[in-house]
Amino acid sequence: MATQDITLERGLPSNVDSEQLVLGSILLDESAFVLVAGTLEPEDFILEKHRRIFAAMAGLNESGEKIDRITVANELMRRGQLESVDGISYLVSLDDGLPQIYNLESYVGIVKEKSLLRRIILNSQKLIQRCMLDQEDAGVILADAEESMLRLSDIRDRQDLLKPGQIIEEFEGGLSAFLDPSRRVKGVSTGFLKLDEMIGGLHPGELAILAARPAMGKTALALNIAQHVATHHDIRKPVAVFSLEMSREQLLTRLICAAARVDQQKFRLGFLNADERRRLQLAASDLADAPLFIDDTAGANLMDIHAKLRRLKAEHGLSLVVIDYLQLMSSRGRSENRTQEVSALSRGLKLLSKELKVPMLVLSQLSRATETRPGDHIPQLSDLRESGSIEQDADLVAFIYRPEYYKPDREDLRGIAEIHIAKQRNGPIGKARLAFLKEFTKFENLASDIGDEPS
């Protein structure tokens, strides 16, 4: 009740003077509209008449007409809104005697800031009302709250366009550092040489989709990458793995057996020799101290993942997030169909990767189209299951293709896996060949790629 009293007493956050100065500046010099329109929209003004005036200006600008008192008044009259904005006399008052304003950006920033505060308040009021009605599951309301705040965060974090000189000036070390390849920002290494050559590692703020048909090894590849980042002596950085399909015990078994190069079936049955037991002990000891964090909550939703990652980053840092897999996630929000739900999830994961500034490696299922399509069965972007927006939101889309699965008689294809890069915003498309050790559920560099170096 105390919060409600404050709202009633003070009113919604606003700065009408700044709104008037912004509109007056545009009437004074129509070129200012271009500067303002990149940041503000009609809904950012608290007064309805200011919203209508700005919308009329936008209409004139879109049609290529001049923006001044007369044209704006005529546009408002055409819309039947001139009287509702207090007539032409109010338009005159906006720029009458107004000097040239050189700090327009400051006033635009004030209007935007107040608008954001109002949106937060209105969103909160809607959530409070839904809670008071007590007609929905608490988890659904909480998920909607998370999604709405993420959208507001995206609005807040939008940056202005920068000139090349400004970008170089903001780069740590200036021009010399910007031109020095050794100082350039590098992605997180996957541990696979040919794959790293193609994609430059996994980059902070980017959403990478790794997709394949069942039993192709997408979980194994993702775990190999996570294990490399968390345990390699040159990296050893925190990694979060969310497994929506396997338990943490199953996941840990895979990790240890892959690192020790021990057949998982032999491990489960207990048919191990002394050397295999020794290798398992060493692998388990190495993993025990690694900054690898595993969550096996079934049906985890975006809200849960967001909260856990923020806490993990604050306490331990974070360099990579792996989610296995997208179609098992739940939005807990309201959506008309599964396609819309998956679209919302992929967009939310992209926003989350940008907010946390970490690469997000998300696994995805493929449709059966790869199996029924004649030819070599190589996956395509259109095979991504349940949503076309996955490929739109992703910065990188990679497919696992194992030709031996479709051509079992070809001896030369045994143990060969191809990682097809079907989309990459900042690099080429193509494929990287890896070795797949089926008995260990493990991917490795091909011997021809590493020479005499160990994998």
Q: Is 439 a catalytic residue?
A: no
Structural tokens at position 433: 């060949």
Residues 272, 262 contacting (CB under 8 angstroms): yes
* Contact call for residues 418 and 186 (beta carbons, < 8 A): no
> Do the Cβ atoms of 433 and 418 come closer than 8 Å?
yes
In the set 41, 65, 245, 404, the catalytic residue is 245
Name the percent of the chain in helix, strand, coil, to the closest 5.
Answer: 55, 15, 30
Task: Tell me the three state secondary structure of residue 242.
Answer: strand
Please give the Cα distance from 54 to 94 (Å, whole number).
12
Who's near 383: CB < 8 A, 6+ residues apart? 211, 366, 367, 369, 370
How many whole angstroms from its chain centre is CA 194? 25
Which stretch of DSSP H or E encloses residue 436? Answer: strand 430-437
138-156 helix and 104-133 helix, angle to the nearest 10 degrees: 180
Q: What sections of 38-103 are H helices per DSSP?
A: 48-62, 69-78, 87-95
Tokens (6 digits) for 293:
């964090």
Known catalytic residues are: 245
